[in-house]
Structures are given as structure tokens and as C-alpha cells.
Amino acid sequence: MPNFSRTIAGCMTWGVWGKNLNTNEMIDIMQTCIENGITTFDHADIYGDYTTEAAFGKAFNASQVKREDVQLISKCGIQYIGNSRNNRVKHYNYSKDYIIWSVEESLKNLQTDYLDLLLLHRPSPLMHPDEVSEAVSTLTSQGKIKDFGLSNFTPIQTDLIASKTAISVNQIEVSLTQYTSLFDGSLTHMQLHKIQPMAWSPLGSYFKEDSEKNSRIKKELTNLSKKYNATESQLLLAWLHQHPSQIIPVIGTTNKNRIIEAVKAQEFVLEIEDWFALLVASQGHKVP
């Protein structure tokens, strides 16, 4: 398995779905990430209505960053309704030919010869493990992907694909405010099968919603921020880092200070009662 950085830069909002960064701005953020130990960049073909990978690729090519110094992740499978493709309905396609074609498109757009990791973006009721296996085998033998994994797959869905193809990663939604994977067997399954968890939306809803849950969390974070001399976001990320499955957060910020702040979160180790105090605050009741 490739050595991914302990914090990953999520690139979904780098393009037109977010900050719409120009080439120089992308290079600047890319270099800030690398200088601070974030060497893994997470993409998906659909980001920016299939435009963000090409914008990143242009910046990456101009940046003079060595390809071997970074890891590039992409995802495929979602057929999105937008301006780029003539789709009648949003759907998923995991046929052998489509997976191979999609990866080749991502390579062209990212201006690279290989992906360090390919993920199937979301499970499909029509996915067939043999089709997936044949595509992954072809892409691996051609040197176009180094490793393979999943995104948003349940344990049983993972087992279906793993019956034919080795799975290295599952990228799921997990945070202090979205903690179901801690209890529904998802993270336990990954530990058991040595699958690396990656967390999208690792800060959860904390900075997005006013709710009773977030008010309870804020009370705990206020006290712990003083105790650990850490920001709220650092404590939220540290809470994830501490899980024994070794969750890697995928952060979406393009703010330089927040990028640096996120990396420093790797240094904090919460006392066990503080870790559980945050969980209890999110749940709204004591653990069973």
C-alpha cells in the first residue's frame, strides 16, 4: 500500500464547486500542503462537473513538483447530471470498460501516468465483482493504478468486491458528529481486514449547524481547548486520529492557516476520558 500522508488534501472545492482557484492559486496551496507534510491529494472524476481534475493537472504540471513526491487519489463510477455528459439520470457505472475509460480520462486530466489509488466512489446495486476485478487487474498490469479501494461502502459491500479484488482503503464519512461507523461494524471490519480508513468531512457538522448536539460539543471543546492549547478543529481531528483504525482525515480547506493547523492536530493525544467526554457530548447520553 502507498504511504499516504497522515492528513490528506481533499480537492473537491479547489475548482468550480468551491473556491474556483486559478492555476497560480492552486500551485500555492499545493506547495503549502507539501511543505507541511500533506503529500496526498484526493480527487474524483465528477468534481467540478468533471473539470477540477484538469484544472489541478494544469497546476500540477506547472508547479514542477516531482510526481514521486506526491500521491494522487481519484474515484470513479458516478455518472453525474451536468453540462459535461449527456446523462438522463444520475447513476453508477462499474462495468469493466467504463472503469478503465474513466481512469484513463483522470490520468489525462491530472497529467500523470498513474494513480496511487483508485476508489469506487459509491456502491451500486448493479456492480459485479468480476467486472471490477477485471478492470482493476488490467489497470494494475498496465501501471495505471498502484492500489485500489472503495468509498462509502458498507462491510458487506466491501466483502463482495474483496471476494475478487484486494481492498486497501475505504473512504467514509466519519467525524465526531457522524460517528455511526464506530458502532455499526464499519471501522471494526476495516481493522480486521487491514483496510485503511479515510474520513471525508472529518469536522462533521460542527461548524455548519446550530444544534443542541453542537452546543454540547462546544462546551467540551471550550474546556479542552484551554487544557491542550489547541483549536476546536484541531481537537476534532485529534479525536479521529486517536481511533485505533488509524483514520486519515481528508480536509477540504484551501485556507493556508487552517491547513497548517490541521497538520498540527496530528501531535495531540487526548486523555481517554477527554476522548469519551467528546463522544458523550455528541451522543447526548452516556455510553452504554
Residue whose C-alpha is closest to residue 102's, from 92, 152, 189 = 92
3-state secondary structure of 197: strand
Pick the catalytic residue from 47, 50, 94, 206. 47
Give yes or no for a contact between 172 and 195, defined as CB atoms under 8 angstroms apart: no
Alpha carbons 236 and 140: distance in angstroms, whole number: 36
Tell which phi-psi region holds residue 157, choosing left (phi > 0), alpha (psi between -120 and 50) or beta: alpha
3-state secondary structure of 41: strand
Residue whose C-alpha is closest to residue 19's, from 48, 49, 41 = 48
Alpha-carbon distance values, 148 to 8, 59, 60, 93, 248 (Å): 17, 25, 23, 17, 16
CA torsion 81-87-92-96 (nearest 10°) is -140
Active site residue 114: no
Alpha carbons 107 and 53: distance in angstroms, whole number: 9
3-state secondary structure of 169: strand
Beta strands in the chain (DSSP E): 8-10, 40-42, 71-76, 78-79, 91-92, 117-120, 148-151, 169-173, 196-200, 248-251
Beta strands in 14-125 (DSSP E): 40-42, 71-76, 78-79, 91-92, 117-120
Catalytic residue set: 47
